Amino acid sequence: MSAIYGFDAPKKATKLSPNTDLLLNTRALNTNFSATLEQALQETLKTIKTKKWQKKCYGISVYNHFVE
């Protein structure tokens, strides 16, 4: 499967509104919030694209079976 997004794309400041307690606990552990968010978004994007690809492949398989 090809790259799911442009790794070299520039960063963009974004306003977010996370749960306050979640944010405070994350900061207390000196966690890099941006890197953690990027990783979570990448995993989410990969999961969604994989499911779409599998659905498309299933549709092609069903069509091929019909043609046979």
CB-CB contact of 4 with 41 (8 Å): no
| pLDDT given for residue 20 in this prediction | 94
| Residue 40 within any structural domain of the chain | yes
Q: What is the pLDDT of residues 25-61, one digit of tens each?
A: 999 999 998 899 999 999 999 999 988 888 877 777 7
What global pTM score does this model have?
0.68
Q: Does the pLDDT of residue 1 top 60, yes or no?
A: no
Q: How confident is the model at residue 2 (pLDDT cuts 50, 70, 90)?
A: low
Residue span of the structural domain in which 53 resides? 20-67
| Residue 7 within any structural domain of the chain | no
CB-CB contact of 4 with 46 (8 Å): yes
| Residue 11 within any structural domain of the chain | no
| Residue 59 within any structural domain of the chain | yes
Q: Which of 32, 11, 13 is nearest to 23 (CA)?
A: 32
How many domains does the structure of the chain reveal? 1
